[in-house]
Amino acid sequence: MIYIPMLKMRTEELKVIKKMKDYFSDNIIPLIEILNDMYEPRYKIDPITSEFIYREVGKSRRRVTEIPNENDIITLEFLNELVEGKPLFIDYFRFTRKKYGNQIDISKVELAWKLNNNEELYKNKMRDISKFSNMIPVISIKNEYGMKKNDLKNFLIEMQEKNYSIALRITEEWLDEYDEVIKDVLTSRDYLLFDIEEQSPETKFMELEELIEKDYKADIVLLNSPRKLSIKNGDYPAHGVTDLIDNSARDKMYEYNLDGYGDYCSHKDTLPMRGGSCIGAALALLYDYNENVFYSYVNKDITLGMRGYLTLIPMILAEKTTLDPDNECIAFKEIEKLESSGNWATWINVCMTRYIHQIYKHMKYN
């Protein structure tokens, strides 16, 4: 079985990747959706003194940075160091406003924004992945981002020549279109990532039956986003198991004898938005692998914002014997150490950590 935690390169997700690196393996392989490039900082030098140029910032002095260029890009190097050479799926992300809305903070997704309308740049970014033997390039075909069949076939072959394994991430509308390409090109070393996005796996029985009947050589992994964008924090139960998150992908993996499944490990498939607010319902979603459900804890007083977690923490810790009977959950240890409510990012981190650790724990003992 393969589990793929899907994570974007936002600050908190990078923290989760770093923290959980020891739990990644050939069975738990993160898929990183790259939204922006990272750059090695360079600093301006005084041509006369050959010393750094500084500027005053409040009561301190800071070196003045140069405008970064392509030679300063260290995105893949940074990720490789973050996981210490563990396997990674790399997906250079592309998106449409139709799916994610008009409030996207473009400054935080500059690379993805450029890739949306530049297929050659997209291909060049994918080619860079071959520099790292532990990275698996994910050629992503979805919605408005298809390729002509022959172009896709040639690109997949090119990527196979440069990488030990490759992955084709595809949504259902393209499955018939590229059927011959998948059969002819993908090998037993490769992955077919069948992405149903926010749709329920329970409704995809026809597509899943079709998939297994095709007898593709590649490993087939079912990807989905079980926590819907449209559901707000305050919609979840104040205390108890929630049925608003459909975790049936795992069941369908076993039912249809697929090779794995993947999801956003308790988070939504969302992009950075402009603005932001401290007002909202405090929400914690703690996954239980044995029951395959999320326990929901919500303070529905939105005026409290992050302070609402102060009422949730005692409720969560009171159920430690149920949710952490072996006293080894990393997330519970972090909750116990909190000196205040934490913030929104704190709890995104906690919930994702819990989810990944639950799957790791199951694999370890089974």
The pLDDT tens digits of the residues spanning 36-55 come to: 999 999 999 988 898 999 99
Average pLDDT value for residue range 270-283: 83
Cβ atoms of 301 and 308 closer than 8 Å: yes
> What rounded mean pLDDT belongs to the chain?
95
Tokens of 247: 């975790």
DSSP 85-139: T--EEEEE----HHHH-S-B-GGGSHHHHHHTT-HHHHHHHHHHGGG-TTEEEEE
Average pLDDT value for residue range 70-87: 96
Average pLDDT value for residue range 313-327: 97
Cβ atoms of 13 and 345 closer than 8 Å: no
Q: Burial letters for 252-285: b for 16+ Cβ neighbours within 10 Å, e otherwise?
A: bbeebebebbbbbbbbebebbeeeeeeebbbbbb
Residues paired with residue 170 on neighbouring β-strands, in sequence order = 141, 194
Domain ranges of the chain: 2-38+73-273, 39-68
Cα–Cα distances (Å) from 325 to 8, 70, 297, in that order, read 31, 50, 19
Res 175 pLDDT > 70: yes
d(CA 172, CA 307): 42
The length of the chain, given as a count of residues: 366
pLDDT computed for residue 278 by the predictor? 65
> Model confidence at 276, in pLDDT bands (50, 70, 90)?
low
Backbone angles phi, psi at 311, to 5 degrees: -85, -25
Res 306 pLDDT > 70: yes
Question: What's the maximum distance between 2 C-alpha atoms anywhere in the chain?
Answer: 71
CATH classification of 2-38+73-273, choosing from 3.20.20.70, 3.40.50.800, 3.30.70.2660, 3.30.70.3270? 3.20.20.70
- pTM of the predicted model as reported, rounded to 2 decimal places: 0.94
Residue 89 CA to its chain's centroid (Å): 10
Res 79 pLDDT > 90: yes
Q: What is the pLDDT of residues 181-208, one digit of tens each?
A: 999 999 999 999 999 999 999 999 999 9
pLDDT computed for residue 273 by the predictor? 85
